[in-house]
């Protein structure tokens, strides 16, 4: 199994005004292809910082983080942007572009990756079909429920055939019934389509749905558990 | 990201806030319309005046008038030459039978001028005096010209043309030719007299004390076609033309207002050399006007006017530019999170920059095109109002002229200003850090 993410003694220090804040204090983590890992931790544990680094949105202060075999601290802004096209980001607040339809939102990530119009149109519709929104392609985010919006976001994240999906509290903003549907979709993608998944959450029940859970506390991974089916 | 996708995305952002975009575009429209309207009117005016001048002043003709030019520098006295580069600093002095310096031109000076250069075809004198005609009990103000009818008709073959009657080439003393405004002052077909009628010609002789109104009765041989505008030295719609010999005896002098010199060629060297020779011969006491010099003076004057008016209009475009910058900064702040999303999806900084600049290009492009159209309409409305004589208009028709230079310049300027003022907001947008932008509420 190729390694998708490998963190070795990862450290990140922020300056909060003039006060340095050590958000990550030596994190070690390895995620392999086909895996479904949840990173669980209370707020302030450093899980959001971890999410930003794995999502190539930020660089570590020290230590190494290999994403798809590339050390991200050696990349410039353009190279980081290129790398992000291979990561499927799904946010807690969906983060769809409000003025674009579901289809255009899914197409956007492919347009950014230079895919041509006809090809991305076809793929966007296929993806929306996969997430069960075949009849919602021309709806704007405001015309969709929270669960539907999150499914559009998942379709968008899958559009460029990413190395892995990176989920940030994917069910944090939707009701429990819809949440279980979205979770079902995520698990199905992992099992049936072999999509690798890294999920960041503070919700213990949600975290246990993953194959493995890394517990974070105070900027470190304190334990790793293999969850029972 | 492909260019077409970038523009599509920019356009979707503009479409979202239609009113805001419309108001921003309006700023550009007003600036561009002002520039286009002002420039197309002044360029039209310049073209109209130039055409009129060329009608009255052919390029192989020099006009010699007494006295130095307004700025005390005889036309060809300057080293740069008449047809040469620019006419800055040259003025001209038309009409006026005597100069302040006391130097006068006389009718028989034509012989002296003819002898100056083999390039001279011939020359003839024009005596000019303001006066009245009396016809049907109505007095109207006119300019009386004493000219050799045959030479004058040859020189001004396009304008000294009879509409009714015949211009006599060897007239008797009491024959006269009049401009169309003399017999039809209202331009409404109500004729005061016609060809063949007698009119009284009057001038006020101020050289005697008390002043005397000198008068004689002349027979109208011909009424000229409408000339329009203003001729420099050439025939005029308010002119009354009498034979040169009659003018000499009527005005009691052989002093003339100008001598018109015909050249064998219209090339610049000939014009310059002959002008210089005449000026030198008269000891710099005359002004020699050539069509080239007048036209180049005109183009300098109009160039200055256009620069001035265009500059004023450009200020309003500058204001529009500042509005664009303001709006884009507001838009950038509102869209911070969107920029974060785009970057998280893998968009490069320079693509974000291009999206924002793309929005300004679209605003500039629409603004410039609408502005040019509006400016053109405005120029035509103003020209129409001027021609109608309403609101203190002159009744003088100017056809606005939209040159390709003005069109392309306005287009480029509109887009340029939009893009320049969008540079800073676009740059700031592109520099947003994705982590911080995504956190922005």
Concatenate the DSSP letters of all residues of B50-86 into one string: HHHHHHHS-TTEEEEEES--TTS--GGGSTT-TTSS-
On whether both B282 and B199 belong to a single domain, the answer is: yes
The closest alpha carbon to B131, from B205, B186, B222, belongs to B205
User: pLDDT band at residue B136, thresholds of 50, 70 and 90?
Assistant: confident
The closest alpha carbon to B124, from B104, B108, B140, B103, belongs to B108
How far, in Å, CA of A145 to CA of B14, rounded?
A: 26
The closest alpha carbon to B51, from B259, B294, B406, B384, belongs to B294
Interface of B with A in 300-339 (CB under 8 A): 337-338
Interface of B with A in 336-355 (CB under 8 A): 337-338, 340-349, 351
What is the chain B residue with the closest CA to A88? B345
Whole-number pLDDT of residue B77: 35
Q: Looking at B200-204, B290-294, B336-340, which range is the least confident one?
A: B290-294
With contacts defined as CB-CB under 8 Å, which chain B residues touch A108? 9, 342, 345
Nearest CB neighbour to B344, from listed A77, A82, A84: A84
Nearest CB neighbour to A95, from listed B5, B15, B341: B341
- Domain range spanning residue B282? 59-290
User: pLDDT band at residue B208, thresholds of 50, 70 and 90?
Assistant: confident
Give A118→chain B minimum CA distance, Å: 13
On whether both B94 and B230 belong to a single domain, the answer is: yes
The closest alpha carbon to A52, from B335, B336, B349, B438, belongs to B438
**pLDDT tens digits for B354-393?**
999 999 999 999 999 999 999 999 999 988 888 876 665 5
Q: Rounded to an integer, what is the distance from CA B1 to the centroid of its chain?
A: 51
Whole-number pLDDT of residue B227: 78
Whole-number pLDDT of residue B392: 59
On whether both B392 and B286 belong to a single domain, the answer is: no
Mean pLDDT of B264-293: 86
What's the structural domain count of chain B?
2
Q: Report CB contact under 8 Å: A78, B16.
A: no
Whole-number pLDDT of residue B97: 39
Query: Given CB atoms, is B18 within the 8 Å cutoff of chain A?
Result: no
Give B369→chain A minimum CA distance, Å: 27
How far, in Å, CA of B397 to CA of B394, rounded?
A: 8
**pLDDT tens digits for B80-111?**
333 333 333 333 444 443 445 578 889 889 98
Whole-number pLDDT of residue B93: 41
Burial (Cβ within 10 Å: 0-12, 13-18, ≥19) of residue A16: exposed
On whether both B63 and B48 belong to a single domain, the answer is: no
User: pLDDT band at residue B394, thresholds of 50, 70 and 90?
Assistant: low
On whether both B41 and B63 belong to a single domain, the answer is: no
Please give the residue that has the higher pLDDT: either B394 or A197.
Answer: A197
Instruction: Tell whether the model's pLDDT for residue B424 goes beyond 70.
Output: yes
A:B CB pairs within 8 Å:
66
The closest alpha carbon to B377, from B25, B46, B29, belongs to B29
Q: Report CB contact under 8 Å: A85, B5.
A: no
Nearest CB neighbour to A99, from listed B2, B12, B434: B12
Contact predicate B182/B191, CB 8 Å: no
Q: Is the dihedral of CA B232, B238, B244, B247 positive or negative?
A: negative
Contact predicate A212/A37, CB 8 Å: yes
Which of B259, B290, B321 finishes a domain? B290
Whole-number pLDDT of residue A105: 95
Task: List, in sequence order, the alpha helices (H) in B208-266.
Answer: 244-251
Give A109→chain B minimum CA distance, Å: 6
With contacts defined as CB-CB under 8 Å, which chain B residues touch A95? 337, 340-341, 344, 438
On whether both B95 and B222 belong to a single domain, the answer is: yes
**pLDDT tens digits for B284-318?**
888 888 877 888 888 899 889 989 988 888 888 89
Strands, E assignment, B184-332: 198-205, 212-224, 239-243, 255-256, 258-263, 286-290
Q: Report CB contact under 8 Å: B434, A57.
A: yes
Strands B175-178 and B212-224, bridge-based pairing: parallel
Nearest CB neighbour to B345, from listed A52, A109, A117: A109
What is the chain A residue with the closest CA to B349? A78
Q: Rounded to an integer, what is the distance from CA B140 to the centroid of its chain?
A: 29
Whole-number pLDDT of residue B398: 83
Give CB contacts under 8 A, 24+ apart, made by B14-23: B14/B359, B14/B362, B14/B363, B15/A99, B16/A99, B17/B331, B20/B327, B21/B363, B23/B323
User: pLDDT band at residue B264, thresholds of 50, 70 and 90?
Assistant: confident
Q: Output the 3-class SS for chain A.
A: CCEEEEEEEEEEEEEECCEEEEEEEEEEEEEECCCEEEEECCCCCCHHHHHHHHCCCCCCCEEEEEECCEEHHHCCHHHHHHHHCCEEEECCCCCCCCCCCHHHHHHHHHHHCCCCHHHHHHHHHHHHHHCCCHHHCCCCHHHCCHHHHHHHHHHHHHCCCCCEEEEECCCCCCCHHHHHHHHHHHHHHHHHCCCEEEEEECCHHHHHCCCEEEEEECCEEEEEEECCC
Please give the residue that has the higher pLDDT: either B229 or A95.
Answer: A95
On whether both B238 and B349 belong to a single domain, the answer is: no
Q: Report CB contact under 8 Å: B344, A55.
A: yes
On whether both B157 and B46 belong to a single domain, the answer is: no
Instruction: Tell whether the model's pLDDT for residue B73 goes beyond 50.
Output: no
Nearest CB neighbour to A81, from listed B2, B346, B435: B346
Q: Residues of A at the B interface (Cβ-Cβ below 8 Å)?
A: 52, 55, 57-58, 77-78, 81-85, 89, 91, 95, 97, 99-100, 108-109, 111-114, 116-117, 156, 160
Q: Looking at A213-227, B217-231, B344-358, which range is the least confident one?
A: B217-231
Please give the residue that has the higher pLDDT: either B145 or B57.
Answer: B145
pLDDT averaged per 10 residues in sequence order, chain A, 229 residues: 90 90 93 94 91 93 93 94 93 91 94 93 93 92 92 93 91 84 89 91 91 94 87
Q: Please give the domain boundaries of chain A with CATH numbers for all domains.
A: 33-57+81-226 (3.40.50.300)
Give A49→chain B minimum CA distance, Å: 9
Instruction: Tell whether the model's pLDDT for residue B205 goes beyond 70.
Output: yes
Tell me the backbone φ, ψ of residue A136, rounded to 5 degrees.
-125, 15
Which of B232, B255, B290 finishes a domain? B290
How far, in Å, CA of B239 to CA of B252, rounded?
A: 20
Give A81→chain B minimum CA distance, Å: 4
On whether both B29 and B131 belong to a single domain, the answer is: no
As for the ipTM of the complex, it is 0.93
On whether both B106 and B170 belong to a single domain, the answer is: yes
What is the chain B residue with the closest CA to A157? B345
Tell me the backbone φ, ψ of residue B345, rounded to 5 degrees.
-80, 0
Whole-number pLDDT of residue A135: 92
* Count of alpha carbons within 13 angstroms of residue B237, beta-carbon side: 13
On whether both B80 and B35 belong to a single domain, the answer is: no
On whether both B285 and B318 belong to a single domain, the answer is: no
How far, in Å, CA of B279 to CA of B68, rounded?
A: 10
Q: Report CB contact under 8 Å: A84, B346.
A: yes
How far, in Å, CA of B142 to CA of B388, rounded?
A: 24
Whole-number pLDDT of residue A85: 93
Whole-number pLDDT of residue B243: 93
Which of B253, B275, B290 finishes a domain? B290
Give B320→chain A minimum CA distance, Å: 27
């Amino acid at each position: 199994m190729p390694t998708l993410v490998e963190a070795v003694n990862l450290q990140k220090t922020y300056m909060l005004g003039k006060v340095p804040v050590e958000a990550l204090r030596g994190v070690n983590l390895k995620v392999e292809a086909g895996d479904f890992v949840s990173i669980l931790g209370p707020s302030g544990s450093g899980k959001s910082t971890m999410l930003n680094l794995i999502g190539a949105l930020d660089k570590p202060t020290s230590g190494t983080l290999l994403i798809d075999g590339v050390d991200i601290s050696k990349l410039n802004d353009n190279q980081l942007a290129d790398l992000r096209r291979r990561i499927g980001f799904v946010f807690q607040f969906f983060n769809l572009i409000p003025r674009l339809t579901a289809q255009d939102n899914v197409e956007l990530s492919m347009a950014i990756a230079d895919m041509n119009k006809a090809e991305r149109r076809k793929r966007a519709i296929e993806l929306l079909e996969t997430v069960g929104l075949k009849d919602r392609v021309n709806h704007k985010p405001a015309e969709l429920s929270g669960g539907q919006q999150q499914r559009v976001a998942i379709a968008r994240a899958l559009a460029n055939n990413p190395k892995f999906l990176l989920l940030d509290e994917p069910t944090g903003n939707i009701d429990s019934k819809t949440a279980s549907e979205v979770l079902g979709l995520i698990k199905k993608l992992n099992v049936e389509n072999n999509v690798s998944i890294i999920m960041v959450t503070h919700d213990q029940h949600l975290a246990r749905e993953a194959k493995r859970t890394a517990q974070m506390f105070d900027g470190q991974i304190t334990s790793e558990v293999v969850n029972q089916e | 990201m492909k260019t077409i996708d970038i523009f599509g995305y920019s356009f979707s952002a503009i479409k979202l806030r239609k009113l805001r975009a419309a108001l921003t575009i309006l700023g550009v429209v007003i600036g561009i319309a002002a520039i286009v309207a002002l420039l197309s009117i002044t360029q039209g005016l310049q073209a109209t005046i130039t055409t009129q001048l060329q009608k009255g002043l052919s390029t192989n003709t020099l006009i010699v008038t007494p006295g130095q030019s307004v700025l005390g520098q005889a036309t060809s006295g300057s080293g740069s030459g008449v047809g040469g580069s620019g006419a800055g600093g040259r003025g001209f002095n038309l009409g006026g039978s005597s100069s302040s310096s006391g130097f006068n031109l006389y009718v028989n000076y034509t012989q002296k001028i003819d002898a100056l250069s083999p390039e001279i075809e011939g020359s003839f004198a024009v005596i000019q005096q303001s006066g009245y005609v009396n016809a049907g009990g109505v007095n109207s103000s006119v300019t009386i010209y004493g000219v050799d009818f045959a030479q004058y008709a040859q020189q001004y073959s396009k304008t000294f043309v009879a509409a009714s009657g015949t211009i006599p080439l060897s007239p008797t003393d009491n024959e006269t030719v009049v401009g169309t405004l003399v017999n039809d002052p209202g331009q409404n077909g109500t004729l005061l007299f016609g060809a063949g009628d007698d009119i009284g010609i009057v001038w006020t002789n101020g050289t005697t004390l008390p002043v005397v109104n000198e008068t004689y009765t002349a027979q109208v041989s011909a009424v000229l076609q409408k000339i329009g505008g203003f001729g420099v030295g050439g025939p005029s719609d308010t002119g009354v033309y009498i034979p040169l010999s009659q003018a000499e005896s009527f005005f009691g002098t052989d002093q003339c207002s100008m001598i018109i010199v015909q050249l064998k060629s219209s090339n610049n060297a000939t014009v310059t050399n002959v002008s210089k020779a005449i000026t030198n011969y008269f000891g710099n006491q005359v002004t020699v006007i050539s069509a080239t010099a007048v036209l180049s003076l005109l183009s300098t004057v109009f160039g200055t006017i256009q620069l001035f008016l265009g500059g004023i209009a450009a200020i309003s475009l500058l204001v529009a530019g500042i509005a664009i910058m303001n709006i884009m900064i507001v838009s950038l702040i509102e869209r911070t999170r969107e920029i974060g999303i785009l970057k998280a999806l893998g968009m490069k900084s320079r693509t974000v920059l291009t999206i924002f600049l793309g929005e300004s290009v679209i605003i500039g492009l629409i603004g410039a095109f609408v502005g040019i159209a509006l400016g053109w309409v405005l120029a035509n409305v103003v020209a129409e109002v001027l021609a109608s004589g309403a609101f203190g208009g002159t009744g003088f028709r100017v056809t606005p002229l939209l040159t390709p230079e003005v069109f392309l310049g306005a287009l480029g300027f509109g887009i340029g200003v939009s893009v320049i003022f969008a540079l800073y907001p676009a740059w700031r947008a592109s520099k947003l850090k994705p982590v911080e932008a995504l956190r922005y509420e």
